[in-house]
Structure 1
């Protein structure tokens, strides 16, 4: 009598190899640095839009203020990828 299709091949259940690695821990400086850089980037952009013409060094930088603010935000996001 022929075998049914289900009986021909039985798939083995995948079992991952045992891992002896310790869980990774973030450095203590990472989270405070991440939050500080993010807040400074947002505050820099906000101050530029609210009072940028009144602050001498900000008016000299012009639209580079946006690059500085967004650079801080992007740096914070990069640091966030290292947080465990």
Structure 2
């Protein structure tokens, strides 16, 4: 059986002269940012819990109806999106 030819791969090294250094200010997030982020998530969770338990008794929530789900989940999503910027 004939032996297959071995292909020689080219060396793909990165030329260090082509790279420009980028300075990243990687400090920790301020305390208010973490509090706000967690506040949004907890507020969304509380909104949904209150809607399930007493949604019919609260006039504003009764008038909004199924939009309460969107409000609750939107608050939680805002908090989750803020976690991407948290350091």
TM-score norm. by structure 1 comes to 0.73
Take 2:73 and 2:36, find their aligned partners in 1: how far apart are those partners? 16
User: 1:22, CA displacement in angstroms?
Assistant: 5.0
In structure 2, the gaps of 5 or more residues are 1-5
> When the two structures are aligned, how many residues end up with a matched partner?
80
For the Cα contact (< 8 Å) 1:58–1:65, is it kept in 2?
yes
Look up the match of 1:55.
58
User: 1:25, CA displacement in angstroms?
Assistant: 2.1
Output aligned runs, 1:4-83, within 5 Å.
21-28=23-30, 29-83=32-86
For the Cα contact (< 8 Å) 1:42–1:69, is it kept in 2?
yes
**What is the CA deviation profile of residues 40-84 of structure 1, one whole-angstrom value per residue up to 9, with x for unaligned ones?**
000000000010001111000000000000000100011000011
TM-score norm. by structure 2 comes to 0.71
In structure 1, the gaps of 5 or more residues are none
Take 2:86 and 2:23, find their aligned partners in 1: how far apart are those partners? 17
User: 1:30, CA displacement in angstroms?
Assistant: 1.4
Take 1:34 and 1:13, find their aligned partners in 2: how far apart are those partners? 42
User: 1:21, CA displacement in angstroms?
Assistant: 3.1
